[in-house]
Structures are given as C-alpha cells and as structure tokens.
Structure 1
Amino acid sequence: MTTVKTKTPLFTSKRSTKLFIPIPSTAERGVTICGVLEQLAPGESTQGRKVALILHGNMGHKDYLFQKRLGLSFPIDSFRFDFRGCHESTGTAQFYGFTDAIEDLAAVEAYLSSQYGYEVDIIVAHSMGVASALKWVCTSDAGKHIRGVVNISGRYRMRKAYDFVIPAGWEEMKTRGYTFMKGTVAGKPVKVRMTEAELERFASFDLDFIKTEFPSHIDVLTLQGLRDAIVPPYDAILYAQALGGRHPGTHSLCYMEDADHNFTGPTTEVINTILDWHDLVNHHRLTTGIWQTGIRGKFAQLRRGVRVVALELKSDHRPHGNMKFSNLASTHLEPLRSPFPPELVDRIIDNLHSDKKSLKACSMVARQWLNASQYHLFERTTVHANESAGFSRFHEDLLDSSRGMRFYIRELDLSGVVDTAGEPTMLCKHVLSGILHRLPRLRELDLTHVGLGPCRSCVFRNFISRPINLDYLSLSVGSRSDGLYAYVGLLKLFGDIKHLDVPFLGWNSPDPLPWARPDELRKKLLELQGPPSQLRVHSFRGTASKIDCLLQVLCLTRSVEVMSSLEVGFLEEDVQIQALGTLIRKLGPTLSRLHVNMTGNFGGTLNPLDYRCLHLRSCNNLSDLVLSLDLYGNPDRLLGLSVAEECTGLLDALSTISGHRAMRYITIHIFVNLQLDESFAEAVYSRMTWHRLEKVLRSFPGLKKARIVLLEHIEYHSTFQAIVVDNLRTLAELGLLEVQPAVETEWPALW
C-alpha cells in the first residue's frame, strides 16, 4: 500500500508531497521508493501536466547537493527520489545498481502517470544516475517521448572506475572477496559492499548504445567540472561526440572551471544554468555546441570560473523595498561553503522571508545561501516607471541579462505615474507580453497607473501571444486615449485567471454606448481580430465606473464556463444593470457567489433603475449573495423623489429569486446618509421597507444566516441593531439574523 504524506513549505504557495512507491516486480521483496513531489499549482488537475525527474548519484539522496533547491526552483512540477537502499527508500543498495535503478525509474514513471496523469518532460541526473537515465530513455516508451536530459558529471568510460580503487581495497577483495565503499548520506555513515565481480560488471556497462539508440529529438545538456577527481572531465567530450550529431535534438556542453564532481560551491550556477537551458528548450532556441557560444553581455563577468550577473536597475524602475540589486548581484562572492546542512539553511532563511535587509545580508554569506535568499528577495518585485522606456529597460536590461532572478519572481507590480495632464505611463502590450513570458513562475500581476497605447516601433506589428495563466490579476489601467479595443488587446494576453480585479478603468468610452448587446459587440470586435475568447476568469471583481463594456466582453470569453464568484459595483445606469444581467444569465448554474453594489432605486439621471434585469433566477446554484445599498435620502428636496423607494431595487432583485432553495447566506450592506434635520432612527425607518424585506428573507427554505451590516455611523450601531431586530423579529427568533458594524469583510472567500 502506498503511503502519502503532505507538507506545505514555509511561506510558499507550492506544495511538497512525500510519496512512498512500492516496487512490485523486483526479486527483492518489500522495496519502497521514497520521493518528494513539488507542485506549483496543487489545486489544479495534473492530468497531462509535465513533470521533471531529478536523480541522484551513487551514495547520494534526493535532497543531496543541488537537487532540493533545483526542485523548488523548477518552473514545472518536479519529483526527486531516493534509489532503493538510499536514505528513506527501502531495499539494498548495490555497487552495480544500474539494473535496479532502471527498474526504480520505470516504477516511478508508471506511478506518476497512473495516479496523477503526469508526463515526464525533463530528466536531471547526477553521476551514476546519468547512465541509468540514458538506458531507461532508450528502452522505454515513456522515455522516448521526453524533451530533454541534463547530464551532470556523468561517467562515459566505465572501465576508468578501476583507477579509483585504492590499493587497500584491492588487497581486501583478494583476501575477503569484497570490500566496502564508505560514505555519509544525509548525515549518517553508509557503506556499500563491492566485490570484484560487481566491479567488473560496472566496468562492462557500455554507453556506446546512445550513439545509435538515443532518440534524435531529445535535447541534452552536459555539465562537467574541470576539477572532477572521480569522473574524468574528458568524458563530457565523449558525450558531446556521441550526441552532438543528432537532429533536431541538440547537445550543449558546459564546463565549469572550479567545480568538482559534486559541484561544491557553484550550486547556484548549476541551478541557473539548468533553468536557462530549460527555458531555451521551451522556446526551441538551442543549438549544438559549447554552452552559450557567441553570447556576449556587458552584465556578465567570470570570477573564478563562476558567472556573476550584475543587474543595473535605473531610477525609473525601482524594485520593491527600495533594494539595490546592482549592489547585491555585482558584489564579489567568495566560493565559501556553509558549515550548516542545506535543510537547516533553508529553514533559517525561510523565517526571514519578510526581512529584506537580513535576506540581503544572508545572500552575502556563502554561495549556498544565495539561492535560498533570492527566492524570498525577488518573490515580490515592484517596478516603477516614469516613462514607457522604463518598462522596456526592465525587460531588456534586467530579464534578458539576469541569470537567475527571473526564476524567483512570483508577484510582479508594474506601476506607472500620472502626469500633470492626467495621462499615465504607457505600457506597450508587446513589452508586457515579453516580460510575462520571461517569468516562468509568475502567479500574480498588478498593473497600476499604466496606459495601453502602442509604442512607436510596434504600431504595424502583428501580435500573437501565448496566453499567460495567473492566480491573481489586478488592472488599474487606461488613459483618455485608450478605447475598448485597447482593453480587449490587453485581455488577449491572458488565459486562465483565478481572480481578476478591476478597480479602475480610465478609458474614454462613448456615452451612451453604440452597442448594447453582446452580439453587436462581437460584431464590432470581429472587425479587429475578434474577442479574447481564450480568457477563463474564475472569480471577477469590478468596482470601476463604466464597467458594463467589460462585462459584455466577458460574455464573449470562456469565463462563462468557469466563473463562480462575481462582484460588481457602481451600477448607476440601466445599461450597466442590463450588461450585468446578461453575464449572470450566461453564467447560469456556474455562479455561486454574487456581490452587487446598488445605488438605490434611482441612477445619476434620477431615472428609476430596474434591478429585476439581473436575471438571478437563472443561477440555480447561487448560495452566497451580498447586496450593498445606499440610503442616501433626498438632500436636494427634489420633487417626485420618494426616499422610501430607495430600497425597492434591492427588494425587487431579491423577489426574483424568492423561494430559491440553494440560497444559504445573504448579506446586506447599508450606508445611511443623514440630513441636517433628521435623526438616525428616522432615516433608517423612513428609507427601508422592513416588512417586505422580512417576507423575502423568510421565503428561502435553506437560509442559514442573514447579515445586516452598517457601513457608516458606527456610533449608532446599538440603535441600528435594535431597529433591525425589532423589524426582523421572526428571523432573530430563529437564530438566522446577525447585525454587525462595518468590518473588513473577505469577499469572495478566496480573495
């Protein structure tokens, strides 16, 4: 039976799951493989998702050297595990373990495929794990469909292993028939029995099969340290000769001058090189040859064989917390080793996640501390730009030149400024697309005070972008020169969005709109490359004025298939109510949470508003309803305006779903505006039709709680509570009524 233990790492949204995978088809009974599955989006389906496998070498384990940090840094899900007999995996470790390792690898792939639906995409292997990985790739159906292999310190000439047996070992094998290889694994002393026959079997393992059997489409990266005292550095040349003549697959050879067999010291460089190579695999930009042949950058400098990247940020795009990246990245870092194990270092730095000053200091301690510090330093990055060129420089100078920072950014805030004429900083969609596609781990994006106009160089350029999926997207964008099509072009950049927040739209929309129905809007958009039909918004919050056009655009996207939470404010015209009603009708049973901010029964033109157009009856699964109501009164003493009618819009909306069986929670936010000549009690009594409200609320058979919240004049809360309880007495007696002052309500629950 497989045992699964789940643990969420500190201060990250990823999930680490420890898996125990039994090996049923082995001659040795009771073998169980232990590994850790790192998931970027644990709440989403894994069917068909790509996964990277990370393999350790002889006398290693799953968290050894760079393996754990690489797993946490990979832009796709990853799984690292202990081969049998190593660390937490049961069974017996053997010196000649190729057959067992291949069997372990096959069992891991079969388990991830059958239980999760994963497809192996990349294999990263170290030392002896390289030979096992290559053999599995050439002999298995799943292995022949992967896209890449990273070979780290892999041995090619197995007979060279004879050179590393010390004379005492030969003497012991002749006298006793065997000797022991001794080492330390995860802080515990370990010894592996080795006989002369096993050594001969190891030396006879011939890797020349990769010249004819290795799939031609797979890209390979070979990393080799020039100070490797275990595997001759020349073996990397032999791998390049064997794999470099394939097409369309490539082979990239990367030597590191001061690196040993385990790459002690330049761990960060190893991780960044692998991530850069993986990014080039995704973009099909690899060529066979020496790694980074022909690449020249004013930001890169070699120090003791390790590349250190200097990031030169201008004053017009300052990072979050006023940190100076140039000082951090360009400072000379000695290749010191930390006296602490990597697990302890990660735990220490995790607890400093919000202390930027301490994290910066930690990054200077040793190279082993740098990667963990960068994870938190760059997790949230804010870029301020006074002009559009600032965003372009951020893309070109920072992202294109950085060797590692872009892999740590999960939350990005692109913020402009509003000039004296009221115009925000312009952000071209080509530049924005380039930035987003260079951040493989980005989950949250906040655009503030930016216009959507094109730059001079891209007015006539065709625009085709791969949609970006995000957990959170906030848009406070637009200028007077931006039209609806600019916003549609922006939305075309995105695919699956968990939460979309639109607090401000600065676009110049005609009033009234020339199109009032989605079919008319679709016709208009088809004239200019069509609507953003790929967009899937799961939860939407729009409090910007003139939100009706955006609601109509959402009707033309795949959001109508998945949107479950919807919050809309500033409904001041019938056309806005109708646009919201159209979206609600299209959502139908998908919608379960709704928050509508009403402005009473009269709009800005004092015309009656018909909230019955919301079509709430079409939402069969609507269970949470929040309605915000302004009891503004009649301060200007306008003839024909009855303050008692201010609540009728809310009551009309509720009446359309009277008796709705799925309704569980109803919250009514009330704002009361006091006139000079009236008391608070008079205002509340005169502007609400309490008996009708009670009748509607009692009609919901499954209602669990009705909350009435006072938004202003908290000093009158006791009076307000007494009035509400007195008028809704039946609900109070049933325990369904709750009266509260204004609090920071979380709506929807996932925000």
Structure 2
Amino acid sequence: MVLPNELVEPILENLYSDKSTLLNCALVGRAWAPASQRGIFQQIVLRLPFPQADKDFATVADAYLKANGRLVEILDENSRLVFYVRRLELREFVIWDSEDLVAYEPIHNSTAELILRLSSVEELSFEQVRWDPLPPMLKEALTNMLKAPQLTGISLGLIVSDKFADVVSLLSHATNLKVLKLEVVRCSNWDITPRTDNVATRSIQLDRLVLKLEDTPFTTFSLADWLQQKSCPFEVRHLLSLRIQYSANLDYHRAASMLDYVGDSLRELQLVTGNPMQAEALNVLHLGHTSNLHILKLFRVMQDDSYTPVPWIQSLFKPFIESGRRCPLQHLTIELLVGHSDALETPQWEQWVALDKLFKKPQFASLESVNVIMVGMNPMPNGVVESLSGKLLFLKQSRKLKATFRLLTGMTDTMVY
C-alpha cells in the first residue's frame, strides 16, 4: 500500500523533532525525501567546540570543522536544501581569553562560510554568545543575515557585549523583524547615545515580544524601560502578543508599566510569574488597558500550604469589576504548580470558589474556556482534579472548564511558547 503525499507530509511533520527517524524516512523513496529533508534541515545549531574530559581541543575542533565542511558540501551539491533551513542557533560562542582567538580562527571562519550559504533563515538565535571577540568575517555574515528580508525573528537567550549600543546596532539591521525574544543581555556600558545605527526610531514594528524582567545584582538596566524610550528602534505599542517572564522574582511594577504601554492592541498575554506572594504584587499588575485581549496564559503559578494565587488572579481583572466594562477575554490558561504536603486535604481549594463567582459575572460573557493545568513533582492523590472542578461549578456546568494534571519532569516542560 502506497500512502498519498497529502498523508505522508503531515506524518513526517510530526517527526521533525526526531532527526534520526527522518534520516531513515528520507531513504524510503523519492516521494518521502522532500518532506523528510525539510525536517532534517529546518534548524541548524552551531555549538562552539571546547575541550572535554575525554577529548582535547584538537579532537573537538577537527570534528566541528569536518561536520561544517560536510554540511557546506551538501548545501552546495543540492541548493534546494538551503531553502529548508529556517532557523539558525549559535550556542556557547563565548571566548574570554584573547589567546584563544588564534586557535579558534579556523572554527570561526568555517562558521562564517556556512552562514553565508544560509539565505532563507527566518529566525536567528543567540544562546550564550559574546559578540565583541567574534572576528569581522563572522560578524559580517551574521549582520548580512539580519538584513535579509525573510529574517523576521531574533532570540537573545544570552548575549554579552561591552556596549549595549553595539547590541542595539546589531538588532537594528533586522528591519523586517516581527518577533523579538529578549531574555538575558549582559553589558558593561548601557549607554546608547550617541546612536550607533542609521535606523529611524520606532521604524521596526514588532508583532510578538518575549521579555524577561531580571532582578539580579548584575542588571543595572531594564530592557522594559528601553523599549519605551523614544530612541528605541522597535515599535511595541501595537504588539499582538506579549510574554513577560521572570528571572528571580518578577518585577511587577515594571511588568505593569510595560503592559500599560502596549496594552491597547494586545491579543495574547503570557505571564510567567513564579510565586506572587508579595503583598505589593496585588493590584499592581492588571488588565485594564488590554481592551482587545483574547488569550491570557499564566505559567508557573504556585499554590502551597500557605499561599493560593486566587486573590492575585482576581486583582488582574479588578478594573473590569469596578467599572462594569466587558472583559474581552475568551481563553484563560492557568498552569498551577501544586506544592501541598497533602494536596487533597488542603483548604486552599476553597479559595477557587471566588474565582468561579468572578467569571460568572456578566463582564465575562465572552469567556469561552478556562484551562487549569495542575503540575507537580510527584503524582497527585486521586480526587485532586475533581476537588478543584467542584469549586468551579459554574465553569464546569457551562462546559468552559478543563482541569488536568501533569507530572512535572522539568521546568522546561511548561515553557512551550
């Protein structure tokens, strides 16, 4: 039996995270090859080689150069494969010792040669990259990639630079950018005047922003504040999607300022909150300026023997309750980290009755679904999901509620964006 192509391609798309299987599928037949190759080449991760316990520098460097060289040969032999490469990630390109630059020169040059061939990349990711010591050839290759019209997404998982102005100048080359992820930026000098680029202020319109608000001794500059400055090249006042996440504790005042600044056009908001136990968190962050918000996702919300997030969740909607205005929210997701010593017997579930009463009010007539995902490091006793559902009777009876439990194997399990 031969499967038609319209069935083969969706099946193979579900295997994009399993490259070993895709490699086998690519050999099945000519009809399977293109879809398999799209999955194999859709993302390239370049990790700078470092000596290991069982491998010296010469060994890991040689392996990197051979792998890069082989990939260059494949792309040169079959130019169609270049169009399948949509994401590029640079990882651990961090060199602190100037003496190492000479040893890494062939590796940097090889990396640049490969990057110059990737003409269809849509998303570029920097994960632990120190920008300043990169050689000119590699910097130029990355800068040219940012200038390409198809490049619409940048992720700064961690980038280190002496001057923040250099980071701004680098990002400003991506004039067609739509998605920006700013997690960790480390700089010695945060001054951005005089400007180091020729891009007009507010000329790059973003649709989606992921922003980590750090609260660490190493942070002396707020990216949230910078995004609101007139000199910023990015226009964020018309965002469609915003994700605010924390490093240690979420800075609720800066998060509130950012949300008020971008709220009018926002369709989707994700808050990775941690544990908002501080009294000052109540009534600080609210949704009063999000007049078009349809989707709200609250991740890593903690409930334990001494704390429940219900009052904080209620405070998000306080402006609608006080004014009587209709809340535009249609879909709410709450990822609840359950930390009870006895999750079945805790009185904290009683607090959720108040949330059920809140969503019964006419202001929330647009609400279509409430998805509560309870997660824990250990299996929950039988009846926990039913206990929560019993406190949300209106949502349950109106078939808006979906309550589930998932065993937490790692914090990354809950961070799918």
TM bracket, shorter-chain basis = 0.5 to 0.7
Q: Could you tell me how far apart the structure 2 residues matched to 1:746 and 1:695 are? A: 31
CA contact (8 A) 2:242 2:270 kept: yes
Q: Could you tell me how far apart the structure 2 residues matched to 1:566 and 1:358 are? A: 38
Q: 1:670 to 1:9 in 2, by over 3 A?
A: closer
Q: 1:726 to 1:11 in 2, by over 3 A?
A: closer
| Equivalent residue runs for 1:130-149 within 5 Å | none
| 2:396 pairs with 1:724 | no
CA contact (8 A) 1:581 1:614 kept: yes
Report what 1:667 is aligned to.
333
Report what 1:537 is aligned to.
206
Q: Could you tell me how far apart the structure 2 residues matched to 1:402 and 1:728 are? A: 60
Deviations along 1:292-327, one digit per CA (max 9) or x if unpaired, are xxxxxxxxxxxxxxxxxxxxxxxxxxxx979xxxxx
Report what 2:45 is aligned to.
382
| 2:382 pairs with 1:707 | no
1:476 to 157, 163, 166: 157
Q: 1:534 to 1:668 in 2, by over 3 A?
A: same
CA contact (8 A) 2:22 2:37 kept: no
CA contact (8 A) 1:381 1:409 kept: no
1:656 to 302, 319, 324: 319
Report what 2:302 is aligned to.
630
CA contact (8 A) 2:152 2:174 kept: no
2:401 to 734, 737, 740: 737
Report what 2:358 is aligned to.
696
Q: 1:630 to 1:384 in 2, by over 3 A?
A: same
Tell me which structure has the larger Cα radius of gyration: 1
CA contact (8 A) 1:590 1:619 kept: yes
Deviations along 1:308-364, one digit per CA (max 9) or x if unpaired, are xxxxxxxxxxxx979xxxxxxxxxxxxxxxxxxxxxxxxxxxxxxx6436758989x
Which letter maps to 1:617? G
CA contact (8 A) 1:374 1:408 kept: no
Q: Could you tell me how far apart the structure 1 residues matched to 2:27 and 2:384 are? A: 52
Report what 2:344 is aligned to.
681
Report what 2:53 is aligned to.
none
Which letter maps to 1:550? L
Deviations along 1:546-575, one digit per CA (max 9) or x if unpaired, are 59833344444544254212222227557x
Q: 1:594 to 1:671 in 2, by over 3 A?
A: same
Which letter maps to 2:45? T
Deviations along 1:221-266, one digit per CA (max 9) or x if unpaired, are xxxxxxxxxxxxxxxxxxxxxxxxxxxxxxxxxxxxxxxxxxxxxx
Q: How many residues in Structure 1 have an aligned counterpart in Structure 2?
A: 363
1:549 to 211, 222, 231: 222
Q: Once the 2 structures are TM-superposed, how far is the Cα of residue 435 of structure 1 from its aligned partner? A: 7.0
- SS of alignment partner, residue 495 of structure 1: coil
- SS of alignment partner, residue 619 of structure 1: coil
Report what 1:336 is aligned to.
none
2:130 to 444, 451, 464: 451
1:620 to 269, 291, 295: 291
Structure 1 unmatched runs, 5+: 1-6, 13-319, 323-353, 364-369, 515-523, 635-642
Q: Could you tell me how far apart the structure 1 residues matched to 2:353 and 2:339 are? A: 22
Q: Could you tell me how far apart the structure 2 residues matched to 1:420 and 1:451 are? A: 7
CA contact (8 A) 2:68 2:110 kept: no
Which letter maps to 2:186? W
Q: Once the 2 structures are TM-superposed, how far is the Cα of residue 663 of structure 1 from its aligned partner? A: 1.4
Q: 1:653 to 1:593 in 2, by over 3 A?
A: same
Which letter maps to 2:130? G
Name the structure, 1 or 2, with higher relative contact order (CA <8 Å, separation 6+).
2
| Equivalent residue runs for 1:208-227 within 5 Å | none
| Equivalent residue runs for 1:137-536 within 5 Å | 355-356=22-23, 359=26, 378-386=41-49, 398=72, 402=76, 405=79, 407-417=82-92, 438-455=117-134, 466=147, 468-470=149-151, 472-479=153-160, 484-501=164-181, 504-505=183-184, 507=186, 524-529=191-196, 533-536=202-205
Report what 1:595 is aligned to.
270
Which letter maps to 1:447? F
Q: Once the 2 structures are TM-superposed, how far is the Cα of residue 710 of structure 1 from its aligned partner? A: 0.6
2:241 to 565, 569, 575: 565
- SS of alignment partner, residue 279 of structure 2: coil
RMSD of equivalent CA atoms: 5.2
TM-score by length of 1: 0.39
Q: Could you tell me how far apart the structure 2 residues matched to 1:617 and 1:746 are? A: 31
Q: Once the 2 structures are TM-superposed, how far is the Cα of residue 11 of structure 1 from its aligned partner? A: 5.0
Deviations along 1:668-717, one digit per CA (max 9) or x if unpaired, are 2211223xxx422344x248733432232223122112222212156326
Q: 1:372 to 1:663 in 2, by over 3 A?
A: closer
Q: Could you tell me how far apart the structure 1 residues matched to 2:167 and 2:350 are? A: 39
Structure 2 unmatched runs, 5+: 11-17, 51-60
Q: Could you tell me how far apart the structure 1 residues matched to 2:248 and 2:336 are? A: 17
| Equivalent residue runs for 1:63-74 within 5 Å | none
Q: 1:577 to 1:362 in 2, by over 3 A?
A: same
Q: 1:492 to 1:597 in 2, by over 3 A?
A: same
TM-score by length of 2: 0.65
CA contact (8 A) 1:577 1:611 kept: no
Which letter maps to 1:598? T
Q: Once the 2 structures are TM-superposed, how far is the Cα of residue 591 of structure 1 from its aligned partner? A: 0.7
Q: Which moved more, 1:565-574 or 1:588-597?
A: 565-574
| 2:258 pairs with 1:583 | yes
Q: Could you tell me how far apart the structure 2 residues matched to 1:747 and 1:613 are? A: 25
Q: Could you tell me how far apart the structure 2 residues matched to 1:620 and 1:572 are? A: 30
Q: Once the 2 structures are TM-superposed, how far is the Cα of residue 596 of structure 1 from its aligned partner? A: 0.8
Q: Could you tell me how far apart the structure 1 residues matched to 2:334 and 2:261 are? A: 25
CA contact (8 A) 2:331 2:367 kept: yes
Report what 1:220 is aligned to.
none
- SS of alignment partner, residue 580 of structure 1: helix
Q: Could you tell me how far apart the structure 2 residues matched to 1:475 and 1:440 are? A: 20
Q: Could you tell me how far apart the structure 1 residues matched to 2:28 and 2:352 are? A: 62
Q: Could you tell me how far apart the structure 1 residues matched to 2:168 and 2:391 are? A: 48
Q: Once the 2 structures are TM-superposed, how far is the Cα of residue 621 of structure 1 from its aligned partner? A: 0.8
Q: Once the 2 structures are TM-superposed, how far is the Cα of residue 623 of structure 1 from its aligned partner? A: 1.1
Q: Once the 2 structures are TM-superposed, how far is the Cα of residue 505 of structure 1 from its aligned partner? A: 2.0
Report what 2:54 is aligned to.
none
Q: 1:716 to 1:562 in 2, by over 3 A?
A: same
Which letter maps to 1:693? L
Percent of aligned pairs with the same amino acid: 14
Deviations along 1:179-210, one digit per CA (max 9) or x if unpaired, are xxxxxxxxxxxxxxxxxxxxxxxxxxxxxxxx
